[in-house]
Amino acid sequence: MQVFDEKHIRNIVLVGGAKSGKTTLAETMLFEAKVINRRGSVEQKNTVSDFHELEHERGISVYATPLHTEWRDYKINIIDTPGLDDFIGEIIAPLRVADTAVMLFNAQHGVEVGTELVWQHVDRYRKPVIFAINQLDHPKADFEMTYNSIRDHFGSNAVLMQYPLNPGEGFNAIIDLLKMVMYKYPADGGKPEKLPIPENELQTANELHNILVEKAAENDESLMELYFEKGNLDEDELKKGLHIGMLHHELFPVMCISALKNMGSGRLMGFIDNVAPGSNELKPEISEDGTEVNFSVTGPAIIFVYRTEHEANLGKLTYFKVLSGELKKGMQLKNSNTHTVETINQLYVMDGHNRNPVDVLKAGDIGATLKLKNTDTNHTLHALTSELKITPIDFPKPRMTVVIKANNKKDDERLGEVLKKIHEQDPTIEYEQSRELKQLLLHCQGELHLITTKWTMEKVYGMDISFDKPKSHTGKPLQEPPTLPIVTKNKVAVQGSLEKYTCV
Ligand SMILES: Nc1nc2c(ncn2[C@@H]2O[C@H](COP(=O)(O)OP(=O)(O)OP(=O)(O)O)[C@@H](O)[C@H]2O)c(=O)[nH]1
Ligand SMILES: [Mg+2]
């Protein structure tokens, strides 16, 4: 596998409302880059990204899944995330290590509630963002409504870089306002023809092009001067302005796609390669004591762990980003959080559950390793001894509490150990032995989060557990949360299927 340098690595995270098409887009990008030669679908439960049994059962993404493409001299690391905010931990952890967030909107619905929540995190990190309006082939696609709702929510910095022709069932072409060409797609998608913009679209295209140019010029004084001089910017100047605007989180280019029909995905990838910023250009990471950790290709290796996964047959998988230097297989690293030494015996580039072994990963890249003993999410590891710890990902506090019990003695003994792993994998799940209530409490993000946690405990760890309402020592329920339903113990035990969980 080719080794890419910082100038040719792009890390993107796919975020957006539930079912906006993130997993379908990830699959299409892998197909475009020939990582796979047949596209799977969410319905057929055979996408590279949604590979967990739980995701197949529910028909949704539950976990942050890293994938990658190697295409036209660039490596794009893609992290596909869930759309439902019960899984917010799986969304904000990859957001932290991504260079650019590609935020999808379903052209049937415009901006949805879930998207607004994710935006708060994207905005907080001031990450570069691309807005991608997806599902433009859908009979109910409404481009105007979607773009207007984007402008209403995110303001005039959301600027059109493309617009679709014939959105809806006949969707077959995109006008590109950066290149000022039309991409015309075969009916079933794929490689487009690059054609001149039709006569009857020229006026609209010119007007929108001028808005894009003005917006791009605003981000740089020399570009502003050029724009005043010439009244326009050429393609390279425009790219530079877009790049700077994205880097400062001041300009959010809006692109058009149909992930399902593979229209616009290749152009999106080209834009990520050629215009979106790389890790070497982003603001430096900040350590817990306020020191700036500058991106360095030549410095000693530093990695930051953004995610941990416990896999039944593999053990502990640790996902990280290389912030400095080169990480080589066999290297020993010092964990500044636990003051222990870890050996990187395996080094992988991940595509869903496929592990591609590599010998080296350079600064700016994302990878995974196995079987680290004393390393968790949010830890920093160094090639040289250092006390420096990268500021941890700030995971949201849980919003729902239940009592958790094991239904037999054997499982009761394992409960603490299993909950520790569950928390390590998803830090937005917490647990505590309440001395006051004399009950073991499980805190999580919501009903679906609770259901999926139970599923994991039963199916992955073979536990027999049940949930109950927390009660005070007087026997009265502590809270009556109408919006936070609790799973009834008996029904879960009898029915044992996720779909049939009943709430009181
Ligand atoms: N017509 C049309 N359907 C699409 C498109 N992209 C995705 N879909 C469909 O939308 C549904 C959801 O797609 P996913 O790729 O699972 O969406 P997602 O955003 O990953 O969903 P979650 O991760 O569960 O939030 C599936 O039925 C897809 O086939 C598209 O471009 N056009
Ligand atoms: Mg998905």
pLDDT at residue number 478: 57
* Cα dihedral value 114, 64, 286, 118, nearest 10: -10
pLDDT at residue number 490: 32
- Ligand 1: residue of 19, 106, 255 to mutate (most ligand atoms within 8 A of CB) is 19
Share of the chain above pLDDT 90, in %: 87
Looking from the CA of residue 138, the nearest atom of ligand 1 is 1
Residue 287: pLDDT over 90: yes
pLDDT at residue number 409: 95
Which CATH number does the domain 6-281 belong to among 3.40.50.300, 3.30.750.200, 3.30.70.890, 3.40.190.10? 3.40.50.300
Residue 487: pLDDT over 60: no
Ion ligand 2 contact residues with beta carbon within 5 A: 22-23, 61
Question: Is ligand 1 within 6 A of the CB of residue 264?
Answer: no
Share of the chain above pLDDT 70, in %: 93
Where, residue-wise, is CATH 3.30.70.870 in the chain?
400-500
Q: With 0-12 CB in 10 A as exposed, 13-18 as middle and 19+ as buried, what is 214?
A: middle
Compute the average pLDDT of residues 311-315.
Answer: 87
Looking from the CA of residue 26, the nearest atom of ligand 1 is 15
Instruction: For 187-261, list the strands marked E by DSSP.
Output: 193-195, 252-256
pLDDT at residue number 437: 83
pLDDT at residue number 504: 25
Q: How far apart are CA 439 and CA 422, in angstroms?
A: 18
Question: Is ligand 1 within 6 A of the CB of residue 189?
Answer: no
pLDDT at residue number 300: 95
Contacting residues for 445 by C-beta, under 8 A, at least 6 apart: 85, 86, 87, 88, 89, 396, 398, 399, 400, 428, 429
pLDDT at residue number 476: 60
Contacting residues for 409 by C-beta, under 8 A, at least 6 apart: none
pLDDT in tens, 394-447: 999 999 999 999 999 999 999 999 999 999 999 999 999 988 888 999 999 999
pLDDT at residue number 477: 58
Q: How far apart are CA 455 and CA 448, in angstroms?
A: 10
Give CATH for domain 286-382.
Answer: 2.40.30.10
Where, residue-wise, is CATH 2.40.30.10 in the chain?
286-382
Compute the average pLDDT of residues 6-32.
Answer: 97
Chain mean pLDDT for the chain: 92
Where, residue-wise, is CATH 3.40.50.300 in the chain?
6-281
pLDDT in tens, 120-176: 999 998 999 999 999 999 999 999 999 999 999 999 999 999 999 999 999 999 999
Question: Is ligand 1 within 6 A of the CB of residue 61?
Answer: yes
Domain 400-500 fold: Alpha-Beta Plaits (3.30.70)
Atom 30 in ligand 1: residue holding the nearest Cα: 135
Name the pTM for this structure.
Answer: 0.93
Q: How far apart are CA 384 and CA 324, in angstroms?
A: 12
